[in-house]
Amino acid sequence: MTGDVNKSLTTIASGEWSRDPDLTDYRAEWLSDMLVERATCALAAPVYRIGAHVVGAPGYIWFRFWLANGEHILEKYFDDHGRPIGMHARIGMAVPHRGRGFSATNLLLGLWITDDAHVTVLNEVEFEQAVAQGLLSPIEAEHAEQQIREVTMAIAHKRYPPPIVRNLTITMPDEDPA
C-alpha cells in the first residue's frame, strides 16, 4: 500500500487494521454507538500518503472513527512524535451489518481536513473515471456526491468533525527519559 492509500473500489471494514502486517498495537473501543479504532505503523511500515500528505511511516498513529452507525468514517493521523497531521473523511456507502462491526463500500471520494478546517476534495479524477466506466452505479455516485455536500456543509457550519475527533490529541512516551 505504498503511494496513495484507499484509491480502489474496496470494502472498508472495522477490524481490518488488526490484520495488516504493517500495523501494530491495534485497539478498538465502543463509545456509545461510535466505534473508535487505533493502530500504530510498524517499524518496517512503508510510507503511506493521502494526496501530498505523508500519513504513515514507522511509529505514526492512526485513529478511525465510525460515526452515525457506520454511515460516516473519519480517520485522524498523528506522526511519530504525536503531532496531528490531518483528517480524512472517507466517503463510503454503509453495508448492513450484523453484530458489533461496520463495513462500507469505498466510493473513492474523500475530504482531507486540516486542523484549521481547510478542506480538499480527494480522488475526484478516479471517482469520475469509475463513474464513466460503470464501476460505480448511479446510486453509489449520487450517494458519494451527497455525502461530500453534507460533510462539507457540516464543516462550514463547524458541526464536523465532531469535538471528540477534532479535539483528540495524543501524548507520546518520552523519547529521551533522561
Q: pLDDT of 97-131, one tens digit each?
A: 777 789 999 999 999 999 888 999 999 999 999 99
The β-bridge relationship of strands 53-56 and 61-67 is unpaired
Amino acid at 14: S
- C-alpha grid cell, residue 33: 454507538
For residue 1, the model assigns a pLDDT of 36
Instruction: Provide the 10 A C-beta neighbour count for residue 49.
Output: 16
For residue 97, the model assigns a pLDDT of 75
From the list 76, 80, 79, 103, the residue with the least C-alpha distance to 92 is 103
For residue 172, the model assigns a pLDDT of 87
CA distances from 10 to 48, 117, 173 (A): 17, 28, 35
- 176 has a pLDDT exceeding 60: no
The domain made up of 3-166 has a fold known as FomD barrel-like fold (2.40.380)
- 161 has a pLDDT exceeding 70: yes
Write the burial class of residue 37 (CB in 10 Å: 0-12 exposed, 13-18 middle, 19+ buried). buried
Angle at the Cα of 120 from the Cα atoms of 118 and 121, rounded to 5 degrees: 150
Residue 7's pLDDT band (cuts 50, 70, 90): low
Q: What is the mean pLDDT of residues 143-154?
A: 96
- Of the two residues 166 and 5, the one the predictor is more confident about is 166
